[in-house]
């Protein structure tokens, strides 16, 4: 489907630096002393705030490593091959992200992933830099060369450094590559629970920049049922949201489907609303003017003269006349309506409405209905939740990516 010898990501980073500071790059290599002099400040090698773990340095080598793998079409097992706008890739998602890098760099509007939560039971991808527990404990000084414990400070438990390090080693390069695929106005949604939400936030702050943190959704995965903690029964999970470059109106506001039922030429949902002020605003003489109707007559704002007025200026009406609707009443009078887009509506709350996005009971029933009453997947997300996020983060014809697709 695509030839996949990806660009050298390390060289791309150097090229970006060269665009900002051409004087610090000589023969394709960075002169660190010149860079330091250019910035006018000494390099601080002391302690600093950040996320650190064993194996982090190897992660960057993995990111820069080229892949010679390619994508091959499987038309025999495909549906509507000639007309579908979708693509499903089977294989290691790290290699797939590198292959997609060249063709989809800065083209993806929305990414949603539901990665392993690192509960101790889920699968962690076996990249080359994954450490064994014994190797980790030796490097961390917990055991000696023969495996004898020389320092027992709790790091040998299931919740210790080895467990988190492997998860971070797996996630970091994938999120790094994913960021490069996002458009400048792109957003990424990441499902997670309490096991790694703290590390995920720190890691994504480092990759995306803390200033590009959009927010955190909380959704009820279950209302009642089995207890996973002897003290507090956890009923929720998180969806962390980051932007490629944070700006206003990244997400489509909360939209009531019964109101925003129309679509414009770009697939954006809207409704018609009165162009005249119906109360609550102070009268403005500059907004009290006639608009020419399709039959050439003048339309004045409905209401008492000196009180009623339009919501748009005269210039805005002329520039956006194609976005207005003129409706003639039986008595011959005219009404003027403007488009109100769902994206201009109320910003969605951080706690998702469980009656809309549903929970795990709903998703389990969906899976059973699809597979003859057999529950093949334990942690599938309810489709209303995914639809909700897609509606918030994308519009018609946008490219959406999920590189931890699980059940597909």
Q: What is the DSSP string of 372-392?
A: TT----SSPPPHHHHHHHHHH
Same domain for 212 and 96, yes or no, is: yes
Same domain for 248 and 308, yes or no, is: no
Q: What residue spans of 270-321 are helical by DSSP H?
A: 314-319
Same domain for 54 and 185, yes or no, is: yes
* CB distance 87 to 2 below 8 Å: no
Same domain for 291 and 269, yes or no, is: yes
Half-sphere exposure at residue 11, Cβ-oriented, CA atoms within 13 angstroms: 7
Q: What is the pLDDT along the chain (408 residues), one digit of tens a residue?
A: 443 444 667 777 778 788 778 877 777 788 877 777 777 665 565 677 889 888 888 998 899 888 888 888 898 888 888 888 899 998 899 999 999 998 999 999 999 999 999 987 655 565 654 445 555 455 445 455 555 544 444 334 444 557 899 999 999 999 999 999 999 999 999 999 999 999 999 999 999 999 999 999 999 987 665 566 678 888 899 999 999 999 877 787 554 555 778 888 888 788 899 998 765 567 788 899 999 999 999 999 876 655 788 999 999 999 999 999 999 999 999 999 999 877 666 667 899 988 888 888 888 788 778 877 776 666 789 999 999 999 889 988 899 999 998 655
Q: Give the span between the Cα atoms of 404 and 408, in whole angstroms.
A: 9
Q: What confidence tens digit (pLDDT) does each residue in 210-225 have?
A: 999 999 999 998 766 5
**Which domain covers residue 153, as residue numbers?**
49-253+382-401
Q: Give the span between the Cα atoms of 18 and 140, in whole angstroms.
A: 37
| Radius of gyration, alpha carbons of the chain | 27
Q: Which two tokens stand for residue 309?
A: 């007025």
Same domain for 228 and 329, yes or no, is: no
Q: What is the pTM of this model?
A: 0.67
DSSP state of 157: S
How many domains is the chain built from?
2
Q: What confidence tens digit (pLDDT) does each residue in 229-282 have?
A: 678 888 899 999 999 999 877 787 554 555 778 888 888 788 899 998 765 567
Q: Give the span between the Cα atoms of 275 and 2, in whole angstroms.
A: 50
User: Across the chain, which distance is largest between two alpha carbons, in Å?
Assistant: 96
Q: Give the span between the Cα atoms of 89 and 70, in whole angstroms.
A: 11
Sequence-distant (6+) residues with CB within 8 A of 172 are 56, 59, 203, 207
Beta bridge partners of 182: 108
Q: Which two tokens stand for residue 141?
A: 């000084």
Same domain for 89 and 176, yes or no, is: yes
Q: Give the span between the Cα atoms of 60 and 127, in whole angstroms.
A: 13
The pLDDT value recorded for residue 154 is: 39
Same domain for 281 and 392, yes or no, is: no
Same domain for 150 and 70, yes or no, is: yes
Same domain for 114 and 146, yes or no, is: yes
């Amino acid at each position: 489907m695509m030839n996949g010898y990806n660009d050298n990501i390390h060289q791309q980073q150097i090229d970006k630096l060269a665009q900002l500071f051409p004087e610090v790059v000589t023969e394709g290599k960075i002169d660190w002393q010149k860079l330091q002099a250019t910035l006018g400040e000494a390099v601080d090698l002391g302690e600093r705030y950040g996320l650190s773990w064993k194996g982090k340095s190897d992660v960057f080598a993995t990111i820069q490593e080229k892949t010679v793998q390619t994508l091959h079409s499987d038309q025999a097992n495909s549906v509507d091959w000639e007309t579908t706008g979708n693509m499903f890739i089977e294989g290691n998602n790290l290699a797939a992200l590198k292959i997609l890098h060249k063709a989809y760099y800065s083209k993806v509007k929305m990414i949603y992933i539901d990665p392993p939560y690192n509960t101790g039971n889920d699968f962690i991808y076996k990249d080359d830099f994954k450490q064994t527990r014994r190797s980790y404990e030796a490097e961390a000084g917990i055991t000696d060369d023969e495996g004898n414990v020389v320092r027992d400070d709790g790091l040998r438990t299931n919740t210790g450094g080895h467990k988190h390090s492997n998860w971070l080693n797996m996630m970091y390069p994938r999120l790094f590559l994913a960021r490069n695929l996002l458009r400048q106005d792109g957003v990424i949604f990441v499902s997670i629970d309490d096991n790694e939400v703290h590390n995920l936030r720190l890691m994504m702050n480092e990759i995306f920049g803390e200033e590009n943190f959009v927010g955190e959704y909380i959704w009820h995965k279950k209302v009642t049922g089995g207890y996973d903690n002897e003290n507090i029964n956890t009923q929720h999970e998180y969806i962390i949201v980051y932007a490629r470059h944070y700006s206003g109106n990244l997400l489509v506001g909360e939209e009531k489907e019964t109101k925003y039922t129309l679509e414009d030429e770009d697939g954006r949902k809207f409704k018609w609303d009165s162009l005249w002020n119906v109360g609550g605003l102070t009268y403005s003489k500059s907004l009290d003017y006639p608009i020419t109707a399709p039959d050439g007559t003048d339309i004045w704002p409905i209401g008492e003269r000196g009180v009623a007025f339009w919501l748009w200026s005269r210039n805005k009406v002329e520039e956006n006349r194609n976005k207005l609707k003129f409706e003639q009443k039986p008595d011959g009078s005219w009404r003027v309506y403007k488009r109100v887009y769902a994206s201009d509506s109320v910003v969605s709350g951080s706690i998702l409405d469980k009656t809309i996005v549903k929970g795990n009971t709903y998703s389990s029933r969906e899976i059973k209905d699809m597979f003859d009453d057999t529950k093949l997947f334990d942690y599938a997300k309810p489709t209303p939740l995914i639809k909700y996020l897609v509606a918030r983060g994308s519009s018609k014809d946008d490219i959406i990516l999920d590189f931890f697709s699980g059940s597909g």
